[in-house]
Amino acid sequence: NSEDVRCKCICPPYKDHSGQIYNKNVSQKDCDCLHVVEPMPVPGPDVEAYCLRCECKYEERSSVTIKVNNVILLA
C-alpha cells in the first residue's frame, strides 16, 4: 500500500527560511532532500547547504496491523 511508506525530511531553519517538515511517498533509494523537498525553499546556490542540514528517514508501517490493534483496544 503506497500510504504505508513515506520519506520524512526534517529541515531546520536556514538563513531567513523557517524550519519545515516534508513528507512524500517515494522509494527508499529516493529518500533524500533532493527528491522530497518540493518546492525547494532556497535558490540554486544554497540547495546543497540546505539539504546537508535536513535529516531524511524512510518509514514503513502496516495500516492493517494498526487497525486490528485499534479494534482490540476498543473492544
In angstroms, the first-to-last Cα distance of the chain is 26
From CA 27, how far away is CA 73, in angstroms rounded? 32
Query: Grid coordinates standing for 36?
Result: 522530497
Digit-coded pLDDT (tens) for 32-45 = 999 999 999 999 99
> Are 25 and 3 contacting, i.e. CB atoms less than 8 angstroms apart?
yes
Digit-coded pLDDT (tens) for 4-37 = 889 999 999 999 999 999 999 999 999 999 999 9
Domain that includes residue 23, residue range = 5-74
**Residue 64 — pLDDT band, cuts 50, 70, 90?**
confident
From CA 68, how far away is CA 66, in angstroms rounded? 6
Share of the chain above pLDDT 90, in %: 72
Query: Other C-beta atoms within 10 Å of 25: how many?
Result: 12
This prediction has a pTM of: 0.74
Query: Other C-beta atoms within 10 Å of 11: how many?
Result: 22
